[in-house]
Amino acid sequence: MMREMTYLEAIRDALAYEMRRDPRVLLMGEDIGVYGGAFKVTQGLLDEFGSERVIDTPMAELCMVGVASGMAFVDLIPVVEIQFADFISNGFDSIVNFAATNHYRWGAPVPIVVRAPSGGGLRSGPFHSQNPEAWFVHTPGLKVIIPATPADARGLLISAIRDPNPVIYLESKYLYRSLRGSTPDGEDGVTPIGVAAIRRAGDDLSIITYGPMVHEALTAAETLAKEGASLEVLDLRSLKPLDVEAILTTVAKTSKVLIVHEANIMASVGGEIAALIAEHAFEHLDGPIMRVAAPDTPVPYSPPLEDAYRPDATRIAAAARELLAY
C-alpha cells in the first residue's frame, strides 16, 4: 500500500515502525519528547512509547553519542536526534573516534543512528544551515545517508536502524514539509543503503547529486528538456558507501558529468566523485567534470546572500548548458 506523506512524516513513520517492531529501538535527543522535537519530527511518539523510549536529554551532544554507544553495547538500538546538524560538531569526538572505530579496533559493533537535520535555504544563518556530510564521509567506520524523497526518508531510516554500524542520517530541513510523496508501507519500503537511484533517465549529460539538490537538478533537467537536451539525474542516496557502479554506469552512458551538492565545494563529496570518475571512467568522458556547489564560505543569512550561496535549478541549468556545449 502507498500513502501520501511529507518527508518529515515519513521520518516519523519510520521511527514509529521500527519502535513497534523492535523493543530495543529508542530515541534520545533534546526536546524530542514532550515538545515533539524542534521540527516536530518525533511528535506523538512519547505518548505511544513512553519516556523510557523517547528520552528528553540534557544539552550534551558529546555525551549523548557516547551514551548511545554504551547503550548499543548492552543490546539497545538508540537513534539520537541532533537538534540541528550544525551541533553535530559538539558530538564529533564521540562519533568519529569512539563509535566509528570500535568495530575495527576490538570487534564490538555500534548500532546507533545519529539523525541530523541539515541544509539551508531557510534563512537560518551560519549555525542552523550547515551540510556537514564530508566530515563523516571521510571517517572510516561510519555510513552516511541522505534521503531526497519521502519514500527514501522512511526506507533509508529503517535500514539505518537495522544496520549494525553507526549511521549518520542527514535529513533535509528544506524538504521536511515542502515535499510530499507517495511512500510505501511496511517492509516494501525498506531502501537498502549503498544503492543510488536514477530519478530521471537521459542520454546527453548526467547530474550526480543527492539530498535536496535532487529536486533542483530535476527542475533544471526539465528546463533543458524544453531546449532539446536529455539529462539523467542520479540520486546517490548513500554517500558512504557510495554506489560507484551506478556512478560509472551513468558516466559511460552520457559521457558528461555535472556533480551538484549544497555543501561548500572544497574537499567535498563532489571532489571524491570527480576523482573516482577521473580514475575509473576517463575514457568515457567527453568534457570536463563540472561541479555546482556552494562557495567556500560559512552559510550566510541575508536572503540575497543565501540565494547567491546555495545552488539552485537556474545555476545547475546554466552549468549544464555550458557542459553540453563543450
Active site residues: 128
Question: Which residues, in sequence order, are CB contacts of 300 under 8 Å at separation 6+?
Answer: 125, 126, 306, 308, 309
Q: Does 192 bind another protein (CB under 8 A)?
A: no
Taking the complex as a whole, how short is the minimal distance between the CB of residue 55 and another protein, in angstroms?
8
Stretch of 136-144, 170-178, 196-204, 294-302 contacting another protein, by CB under 8 A? 136-144
Q: Which residue of 32, 41, 65, 257 would you call a contact of another protein, by CB under 8 A?
A: 65
* 224 burial via Cβ count (<10 Å: 0-12, 13-18, 19+): buried
Q: Which residue of 38, 40, 93, 312 would you call a contact of another protein, by CB under 8 A?
A: 93
Contact 306, 300 (CB under 8 A): yes
Cβ proximity to another protein: between 73 and 282 the closer is 73
Q: Which residue of 71, 234, 260, 323 would you call a contact of another protein, by CB under 8 A?
A: 71
Stretch of 5-13, 89-97, 145-153, 245-253 contacting another protein, by CB under 8 A? 89-97
The per-residue DSSP string of 205-245 comes to EEEEE-TTHHHHHHHHHHHHHHTT--EEEEE--EEES--HH
Q: Does 98 bind another protein (CB under 8 A)?
A: yes
Q: Which residues are registered as beta bridge partners of 292?
A: 260
Cell of 110: 555500534
Q: Give the type of residue at 303.
A: P
Cβ proximity to another protein: between 65 and 208 the closer is 65
Q: Does 75 bind another protein (CB under 8 A)?
A: yes
* 103 burial via Cβ count (<10 Å: 0-12, 13-18, 19+): middle
Cβ proximity to another protein: between 97 and 314 the closer is 97
Q: Does 109 bind another protein (CB under 8 A)?
A: yes
Cβ proximity to another protein: between 106 and 283 the closer is 106
Q: Which residue of 6, 42, 165, 172 would you call a contact of another protein, by CB under 8 A?
A: 165
Q: Which of 216, 202, 206 is nearest to 273 (CA)?
A: 206
Interface with another protein (CB under 8 A), residue total 38
Q: Does 66 bind another protein (CB under 8 A)?
A: yes
Q: For residues 47 and 1, what is the distance between their CA atoms, to the nearest angstrom?
A: 26
